[in-house]
């Protein structure tokens, strides 16, 4: 897994829970890399899994919740680092579609060994919700959920995100149904 | 302490991360460098490959061009090889027509002749297709008397059609001019192709050719038949090369499938267009609209040459092919010519040394020595008189060949197979012109009044040579020849400081120039001669240039003059004995070995003697050679003269 994910995860932990929490989860989980992560490196996914599990224990916040927060953190980082994509896309839904079509394709060129999640889209009719289907070897659909939320925040396009996840053999699947808020409806999302 | 450990750990982690990042960076940049080098190598090898391929392409192109040249040469040679025997066959047939024959024999002979001509046409067809392919065909427009021409072209087909029980008819509209400008050879090919095609595919009824006038420059030629016709889907394939309407046609009717393609290309070349209309089972019409303008008639050229009896005219026929020799000899003898045969160019030059001729007919391709080379030698060595025409007989009738003949010193060409009328007309033209020139040249003094050369006072110098313009002409020529390159010569002398030589050169110009009426030039040379003698002052580069320029100006105008006729005037001729003549000849010969001026004087004396015409001609050749400082040719002519006397 790309080093950027690890460095940003520790950034998030540091900013949300303090430096000591970073030391704690590293000390407890003893990652093989010694947690000397660089964004240009590549590290074993289990190290992240272990750190998140330990963080959940330490903070008493569910893993899903932590992943979702991490997703939003990543989304904010991306919108600064790769602002070009956000500006070009112009809207959240366009951005999502570009992730599958262009972004992941380019990532594959640079890092052919990288295992990326698959996304597909469903835009049946104007009055029906826009659907994103997620498939991955890793159970990280909540990170995706956070990323989606971050994008809506970036474009100030409030949407309701309905998440339904399941497992299919060795794949983790999830469908996100995105419905824009009407004037009357209240934002249910707790930030 | 606890905090200290924590910070140490954190710093250690950061340090490790930095090192890892640096390692990765180095690894990536090394990989990048390697890829970059690979790209360089690739682009270099691509460039090499491109250069290599370009060289290969150039080689291939050169080879293709060479192959094309070989093909073109092959065509030219084939043309010769195929047409020469046909010339023999057709020539013999033509000779037989002069014999006493029964009407039946005459008709049979006619069929044989027209078939022979037709075969010649087929040979030409194949050659033409190759030539068209190689863009080697040129159109040569000439006036054609259209009515007899069409009749003659159709005649072979009338007989052919008769055998099939068909009729061949033709109609030419009354408003079609009698003389039209076209390329006869190509038009014949077009008509022949269309008629033979029509006859091939017609089993009953008729084939008809019509010619009508569309406007002043456009005429329509239609060949229609009542034959099997062509289906609509096959109509557009008619003009494609190697195509017939369907393959069964090739089986049933034969043919190369080239005819219609050649026809269309020829029509294109004649600035026309051809199209075909046909109904299956009813017949086919080929319609050609092409540019053919009414021709301006030159009566002298058109008049059929009457068989003048050319008695006492002697022709040298140079031809290696036995049959062609015989044809030419019989034909020419029937017109009253005396014929001498030569097997090749070398033999021709040897014969020409011993005998004189009124005209030479020269084949081009011969073993040992070809016609072009022989002509060059005949002209260069004055083996025949300058006014004796050399006429090429050639199976190569391309314009390039004709040009080569003319450049070698020939006056005209006739193509083989020999056309009786054309041959006679050419001979009449040259031989009667020859007579006219001779009669004019009997009035030599009439010429001098019109002569004008810059820097030369002609009247004065003519008086000096007793009004003998040919003599003056040759003297001026000699002078110009000697000082042709004055500038270079004199500059070199000056650079080498050889004042003795410079004085002698200037002195010569002063003396000779003065005598020849070049007064200004003579004075200028005298002036510089004096300065050089008295004060050792050399003329400047500019002054040398001025002298040279004046000589060149004289030369320019001199060369534009016509050469004078070289016959000593009849009125001064003196009758002498054979012995006197022989003595005078040996005087000239002696002179050539010792003193050219004495030789020239002796020759002039010799020319004053009254001799028989043949000898006179030989002596005139000697005179012409002398005027051109060709001493060897003079000696040749004199030896010949001695032999004639003894």
Measuring CA to CA, which residue among B139, B439, B472 is closest to residue B290? B139
Asked whether B418 and B87 are in contact (CB, 8 A), the reply is yes
pLDDT digits (tens, 9 = 90+) for B33-67: 999 999 999 999 999 999 999 999 999 999 998 88
Contacts of A38 in chain B (CB under 8 A): 17-18, 20-21, 24
pLDDT digits (tens, 9 = 90+) for B182-223: 988 889 889 988 998 899 889 888 999 999 999 888 999 999
Mean pLDDT of B606-612: 84
How near does any CA of chain B get to the CA of A162, in Å? 39
CB contact under 8 A, B20 and A20: no
DSSP code for A103: I
CB contact under 8 A, B24 and A41: yes
Q: Select from B6, B10, B20 the Cβ nearest to the Cβ of A38.
A: B20
In whole angstroms, what is the distance from residue B188 CA to residue B199 CA?
16
Whether B417 shows a pLDDT value over 70: the answer reads no
Contacts of B17 in chain A (CB under 8 A): 36-38
In whole angstroms, what is the distance from residue B627 CA to residue B646 CA?
26
Instruction: Give the lowest-confidence range in A33-42, B119-128, B562-571.
Output: B562-571
* pLDDT > 70 in chain B, percent: 83
Q: Which residues pair with B218 in a beta bridge?
A: B291
Contacts of B24 in chain A (CB under 8 A): 38, 40-41
Q: Select from A23, A38, A40 the Cβ nearest to the Cβ of B9.
A: A23
Which residues in A have their CB inside 8 Å of a CB on B? 19-20, 23, 26, 34-41
Determine contact: B403 vs chain A, CB below 8 A: no
Outline where DSSP puts E strands in B138-205: 142-145, 167-172, 179-182
pLDDT digits (tens, 9 = 90+) for B303-314: 344 445 566 788
What is residue A75's predicted lDDT score, i.e. its pLDDT? 95
CB contact under 8 A, B6 and A23: yes
More confident site: B235 or B389? B389
Measuring CA to CA, which residue among B322, B316, B302 is closest to residue B144? B302
Q: Give which of A7, A26, A40 to mutate to test B binding, by max B Cβ within 10 Å.
A: A40
Residue of chain A with shortest Cα separation from B17: A36
How near does any CA of chain B get to the CA of A34, in Å? 7
What is residue A142's predicted lDDT score, i.e. its pLDDT? 95
Contacts of B35 in chain A (CB under 8 A): none
Number of Cβ within a 10 Å radius of residue B380:
12
What is residue B136's predicted lDDT score, i.e. its pLDDT? 64
What is residue B79's predicted lDDT score, i.e. its pLDDT? 66
How near does any CA of chain B get to the CA of A16, in Å? 18
How near does any CA of chain B get to the CA of A40, in Å? 7
Mean pLDDT of B171-177: 90
Contacts of A11 in chain B (CB under 8 A): none
Determine contact: B67 vs chain A, CB below 8 A: no
What number of C-beta contacts closer than 8 Å exist between A and B?
A: 30
Three-state DSSP class for residue B5:
helix
Contacts of B9 in chain A (CB under 8 A): 23
In whole angstroms, what is the distance from residue B194 CA to residue B261 CA?
11
In whole angstroms, what is the distance from residue B352 CA to residue B383 CA?
6
Q: Give which of A38, A42, A47, A112 to mutate to test B binding, by max B Cβ within 10 Å.
A: A38
What is residue B481's predicted lDDT score, i.e. its pLDDT? 80
Both tokens assigned to B336: 């009253």
Max mean pLDDT among B52-61, B144-153, B578-587 falls in: B52-61
What is residue B110's predicted lDDT score, i.e. its pLDDT? 83
In whole angstroms, what is the distance from residue B315 CA to residue B432 CA?
14
Instruction: Give the lowest-confidence range in B86-90, B316-320, B563-567.
Output: B563-567
With a cut of 70, which residues of chain A have pLDDT below it? 124, 183-191
What is residue B511's predicted lDDT score, i.e. its pLDDT? 76
In whole angstroms, what is the distance from residue A91 CA to residue A71 CA?
18
In whole angstroms, what is the distance from residue B246 CA to residue B624 CA?
70
Both tokens assigned to B472: 């003056």
Q: Which residues pair with B316 in a beta bridge?
A: B340, B360
Determine contact: B10 vs chain A, CB below 8 A: yes
Please enumerate in sequence order all residues whose Cβ is within 8 A of that of B416, keeping only pairs 6 or more positions apart, or say none. B83, B84, B87, B324, B393, B394, B395
How near does any CA of chain A get to the CA of B24, in Å? 7
Measuring CA to CA, which residue among B545, B542, B505, B540 is closest to residue B525? B505
Average pLDDT of the residues of chain B:
80
pLDDT digits (tens, 9 = 90+) for B110-119: 888 878 877 7
In whole angstroms, what is the distance from residue B646 CA to residue B581 CA?
11
CA-to-CA separations, A186 to A131, A160, A190, B590, in angstroms, rounded: 21, 10, 11, 140
Q: Give which of B3, B12, B21, B26 to mutate to test A binding, by max A Cβ within 10 Å.
A: B21
CB contact under 8 A, A36 and B6: no
Q: In what order do the strands lie in the sheet with B272-279?
A: B167-172, B206-213, B218-225, B283-291, B272-279
How near does any CA of chain B get to the CA of A101, in Å? 27
**Long-range contacts of the stretch A93-100 (C-beta < 8 A, 24+):** A93/A123, A93/A130, A93/A178, A95/A151, A95/A155, A96/A121, A96/A132, A96/A148, A96/A151, A97/A121
More confident site: B507 or A28? A28
Whether B248 shows a pLDDT value over 60: the answer reads no
What is residue B300's predicted lDDT score, i.e. its pLDDT? 44
How many residues are recorded in chain A?
Answer: 191
How near does any CA of chain B get to the CA of A36, in Å? 4
Mean pLDDT of B68-93: 76
Contacts of B25 in chain A (CB under 8 A): 40
Residue of chain B with shortest Cα separation from A40: B21
CB contact under 8 A, A34 and B18: no
Q: Select from B15, B17, B28 the Cβ nearest to the Cβ of A37.
A: B17
How near does any CA of chain B get to the CA of A123, in Å? 41
Whether B388 shows a pLDDT value over 50: the answer reads yes
What is residue B348's predicted lDDT score, i.e. its pLDDT? 92
CA-to-CA separations, B498 to A114, B510, B515, in angstroms, rounded: 97, 19, 26
Contacts of B21 in chain A (CB under 8 A): 38-41
More confident site: B148 or B121? B148
pLDDT digits (tens, 9 = 90+) for B254-302: 455 667 888 888 899 888 999 999 988 889 999 999 988 887 654 444 4
How near does any CA of chain B get to the CA of A112, in Å? 15
Whether B345 shows a pLDDT value over 60: the answer reads yes
CB contact under 8 A, A35 and B20: no
CB contact under 8 A, B10 and A38: no
Q: Select from A20, A34, A41 the Cβ nearest to the Cβ of B13.
A: A34
Measuring CA to CA, which residue among B92, B152, B83 is closest to residue B121? B83
Measuring CA to CA, which residue among B7, B15, B4 is closest to residue A23? B7
Both tokens assigned to B640: 């010949």
ipTM: 0.71
In whole angstroms, what is the distance from residue B606 CA to residue B600 CA?
10
Rounded (10°) CA dihedral A18, A22, A27, A33: -160
Determine contact: B301 vs chain A, CB below 8 A: no
Both tokens assigned to B563: 């050469």
Contacts of A41 in chain B (CB under 8 A): 20-21, 24
Whether B447 shows a pLDDT value over 60: the answer reads no
pTM: 0.37
Model confidence at B400, pLDDT cuts 50, 70, 90, reads confident
CB contact under 8 A, B16 and A41: no
Max mean pLDDT among B296-310, B352-366, B505-519, B590-604 falls in: B352-366
CB contact under 8 A, A41 and B10: no
What is residue B41's predicted lDDT score, i.e. its pLDDT? 92
Mean pLDDT of B518-536: 87
Contacts of A34 in chain B (CB under 8 A): 13, 16
Contacts of A111 in chain B (CB under 8 A): none
Whether B566 shows a pLDDT value over 60: the answer reads no
Residue of chain A with shortest Cα separation from B12: A36
What is residue B303's predicted lDDT score, i.e. its pLDDT? 39
In whole angstroms, what is the distance from residue A133 CA to residue A138 CA?
14
pLDDT digits (tens, 9 = 90+) for B457-476: 887 777 666 667 777 787 78
CA-to-CA separations, B96 to B92, B109, B156, B418, in angstroms, rounded: 6, 8, 19, 15
What is residue B570's predicted lDDT score, i.e. its pLDDT? 44
Contacts of A40 in chain B (CB under 8 A): 21, 24-25, 28
CB contact under 8 A, A19 and B16: no
What is residue B237's predicted lDDT score, i.e. its pLDDT? 79
């Amino acid at each position: 897994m790309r080093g950027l994910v690890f460095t940003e995860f520790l950034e998030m932990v540091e900013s949300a829970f303090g430096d000591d929490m970073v030391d704690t989860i590293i000390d407890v989980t003893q990652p093989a890399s010694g947690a000397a992560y660089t964004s240009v490196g590549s590290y074993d996914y289990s190290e992240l899994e272990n750190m998140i599990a330990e963080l959940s224990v330490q903070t008493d916040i569910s893993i899903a919740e932590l992943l979702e927060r991490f997703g939003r953190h990543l989304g904010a980082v991306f919108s600064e680092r790769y602002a070009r994509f956000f500006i070009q896309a112009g809207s959240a839904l366009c951005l999502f579609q570009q992730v599958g079509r262009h972004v992941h394709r380019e990532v594959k060129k640079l890092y052919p060994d990288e295992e990326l999640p698959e996304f597909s889209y469903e835009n049946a009719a104007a009055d029906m919700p826009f659907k994103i289907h997620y498939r991955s070897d890793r159970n990280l659909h909540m990170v995706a959920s956070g990323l989606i939320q971050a994008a809506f925040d970036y474009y100030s396009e409030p949407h309701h995100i309905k998440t339904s996840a399941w497992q299919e053999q060795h794949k983790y699947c999830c469908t996100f149904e995105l419905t824009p808020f009407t004037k009357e409806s209240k934002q249910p999302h707790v930030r | 302490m606890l905090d200290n450990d924590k910070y140490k750990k954190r710093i250690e982690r950061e340090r490790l991360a930095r090192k890892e990042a640096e390692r990765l960076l180095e690894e990536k940049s090394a990989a990048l460098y390697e890829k970059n080098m690979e790209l360089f190598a690739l682009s270099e090898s691509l460039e090499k490959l491109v250069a290599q391929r370009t060289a290969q392409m150039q080689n291939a192109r050169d080879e293709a061009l060479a192959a094309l040249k070989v093909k073109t040469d092959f065509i030219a040679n084939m043309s010769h090889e195929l047409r020469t025997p046909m010339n023999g066959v057709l020539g013999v047939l033509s000779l037989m027509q002069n014999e006493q024959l029964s009407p039946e024999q005459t008709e049979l002979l006619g069929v044989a002749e027209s078939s022979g001509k037709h075969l010649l046409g087929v040979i030409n067809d194949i050659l033409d297709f190759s030539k068209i392919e190689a863009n080697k065909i040129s159109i040569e427009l000439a006036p054609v008397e259209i009515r007899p021409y069409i009749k003659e072209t159709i005649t072979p087909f009338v007989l052919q059609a008769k055998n099939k029980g068909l009729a061949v008819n033709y109609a030419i509209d009354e408003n079609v001019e009698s003389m039209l400008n076209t390329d006869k050879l190509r038009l014949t090919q077009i008509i022949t192709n269309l008629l033979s095609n029509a006859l091939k595919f017609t089993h009953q009824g008729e084939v008809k050719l019509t010619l009508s006038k569309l406007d002043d420059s456009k005429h329509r030629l239609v060949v229609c038949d009542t034959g099997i016709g062509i289906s609509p889907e096959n109509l557009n394939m008619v003009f494609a090369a190697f195509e017939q309407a369907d393959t069964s046609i090739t089986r049933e009717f034969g043919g190369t499938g080239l005819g219609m393609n050649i026809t269309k290309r020829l029509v294109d070349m004649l600035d026309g267009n051809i199209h075909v209309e046909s109904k299956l089972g009813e017949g086919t019409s080929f319609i050609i609209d092409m540019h053919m303008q009414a021709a301006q008639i030159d009566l002298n050229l058109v008049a059929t040459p009457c068989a003048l009896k050319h008695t006492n005219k002697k022709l040298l026929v140079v031809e290696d092919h036995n049959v062609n020799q015989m044809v030419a000899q019989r034909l020419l003898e029937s017109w009253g010519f005396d014929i001498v045969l030569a097997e090749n160019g070398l033999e021709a030059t040897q014969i020409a040394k011993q005998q004189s001729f009124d005209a030479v007919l020269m084949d081009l391709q011969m073993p040992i020595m070809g016609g072009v080379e022989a002509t060059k030698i005949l002209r260069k060595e004055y083996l025949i008189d300058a006014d004796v025409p050399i006429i090429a007989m050639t199976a190569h009738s391309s314009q390039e060949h004709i040009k080569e003949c003319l450049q070698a010193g020939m006056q005209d060409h006739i193509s083989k197979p020999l056309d009786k009328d054309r041959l006679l007309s050419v001979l009449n033209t040259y031989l009667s012109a020859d007579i006219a020139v001779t009669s004019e040249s009997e009035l030599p003094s009439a010429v001098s009044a019109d002569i004008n050369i810059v820097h030369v006072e002609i009247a004065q110098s003519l008086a000096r040579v007793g009004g003998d313009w040919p003599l003056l002409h040759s003297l001026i020529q000699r002078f110009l020849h000697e000082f042709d390159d004055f500038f270079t010569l004199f500059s070199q002398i000056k650079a080498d400081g050889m004042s003795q030589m410079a004085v002698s050169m200037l002195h010569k110009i002063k003396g000779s120039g003065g005598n020849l009426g070049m007064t200004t030039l003579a004075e200028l040379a005298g002036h510089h001669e004096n300065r050089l003698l008295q004060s050792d002052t050399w003329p400047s580069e500019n002054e040398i240039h001025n002298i040279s320029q004046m000589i060149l100006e004289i030369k320019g105008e001199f060369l534009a003059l016509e050469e004078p006729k070289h016959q000593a005037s009849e009125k001064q001729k003196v009758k002498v004995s054979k012995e006197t003549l022989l003595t005078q000849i040996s005087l000239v010969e002696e002179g050539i070995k010792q003193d050219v001026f004495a030789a020239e004087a002796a020759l002039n004396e010799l020319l004053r003697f009254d001799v028989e015409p043949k000898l006179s001609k030989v002596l005139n050749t000697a005179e012409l050679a002398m005027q051109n400082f060709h001493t060897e040719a003079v000696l040749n002519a004199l030896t010949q003269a001695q032999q004639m006397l003894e």
